[in-house]
Amino acid sequence: MALPAIETCDATDLVRCLEAGTLSPVEAVEDALRRIDTSNAALGAFATVDPDGARRAAGDAARRRAAGRPLSRIDGLPVSIKDLTDMQGVPTRKGSRITSDAPATTDAPLTAHLRAAGAVIIGKTATPEFGWKGVTDNPLSGICRNPWDSALTPGGSSGGAAVAAVLGMGWLHQGSDAGGSIRIPCAFCGLAGLKPTFGRVPQWPPSAMGPLSHLGPMARSIRDCALMMQVISRPDIRDPTLSPPDASDWTDMQSAGVAGRRIAVWREAGEVPLHPEIDAALSCAAAALKTAGAEVIEASPDTRDARAIFDVLWQAGAASIVARVPRAEREWMDPGLLAEAEMGSALDAVAHVEAEQARLAFASRMAAFQADHDFILSPAVPIPAFAAGHDVPRGTSLRKWPDWTPFTYPFNLTQQPVASVPWGTTRDGRHVGLQIAGRRHADREVLAAAAVMEAAAPQKTWPEREGTAHAEGRP
């Protein structure tokens, strides 16, 4: 019988092979490094690769597994972190020519949690400069491209992580999301992801985008996202905003579901018309949830002031980034980021305080809406992926990336959990992503609902690459 290629697995499958001893951490890491060697130059998924460190860590993990003493289920599994997050011994360049190339002296909490679990961090994935926009290109390394069609953008700002996940350049990937930066690339690349409740995953140093920024998993499946959350949601005293600790098993979703739950279907937001094939996918997902026992109704939250609030907070965050950069060096930065910073610099302290007050009022209004609805189902993005190297689709009147992301940033304002679920492709082969949001701290329930959607979604295959290892005896 032919052995299944690693490329057909998700992380959970691979973990089972590591546990069974049919695949070693060394083989898994070498396979990921081969994939990076094959495709990274063309697609720009990784900003930095640490092959020597990855091989050492894989060898250590192999010895622990052989001795029957793995540190966790993901011991020996190849993973990546985004190049906004510190990794000791590797620079945090943030996609910028003005950042230092000196190695970070300590691990961020998320990185430390992955290491403590025995995960093998193979490198840092690409981001736009300081993660400021919803596509992935930057002045330091250029354009990151969609793995399904290199003419298209993978989205952003966690675009590098999305490319890596699709091509098997590692199996669990950290994204960050301050306006949609996990969900946008998941939608454009056909992946699963979770923007957890703010404070569920510790973050240090804090993001310039403050209360908008969330860290979370990106992977090939919802169960993989749960597997990663089991590790990265652990507390760290450096982050004072943490949610209460939760020691239960993230991967146990057997008894959960959507039966008896009330789900609002949200179809219209912003000025961009919903692509008809994405609208049809949304209807299919709603029908699947209804079949699974949910009460599904058409209802939209009131988000009319969300963009104005988001713009002020985003521009203020951009201004705080650029304010630290000497004027002589700003010419090396992304002009779009500089334009946002200029608008943020024109804001006074009162405007910023008023925006934060408005954010809290908006969050309260959304909580009232969700008191009557367990979940909100919507598109992640109303359009499919467009040409790489552009912030907005060419030939449109759109000016800024939030113009085409009206379903994502409202949930950053409210800080509630949202899962991204792939739902097939358009007729021309571009991926469709839907999202399902829940009440604050209902992260597990959101993952369980997303798993119901995932089970009903159109089946997919993954890109094949020559010379890959095989997961012998895959469970």
Catalytic residues: 82, 157, 181
199 conformational bin, left if phi > 0, alpha if psi -120 to 50, beta if neither: left
Name the residue with tokens 């997919």.
460
The identity of residue 460, as a single letter, is K
Residues 6+ apart with CB under 8 A from 68: none
Percentages (nearest 5) of helix, strand, coil residues in the chain = 40, 15, 45
* Cβ contact 110:232 at 8 Å: yes
Pairing of the two strands 142-143 and 172-177: unpaired
Give the CA angle between residues 264, 267, 270 to the nearest 5°: 125
Q: Write down how long the chain is.
A: 475
Q: Angle, nearest 10°, between helix axes 222-232 and 443-456?
A: 160
Task: Indicate the residue type of 377.
Answer: L
β 192-195/172-177 pair status: unpaired
Q: Which of 345, 337, 339 is nearest to 319 (CA)?
A: 345
Place of tokens 């995953």: 201
Determine the Cα–Cα distance for residues 396 and 244; give it in Å rounded to an integer: 45
DSSP 182: T
Q: Tell me which residue has tokens 């909580």.
A: 367
End-to-end CA distance of the chain: 14
The DSSP secondary structure of 24-56, one letter per residue, reads -HHHHHHHHHHHHHHHHHHH--EEEE-HHHHHH
**Tokens describing residue 465:** 């690459």
Task: Give residue for tokens 């860590």.
Answer: 57
**3-state SS class at 192:** strand
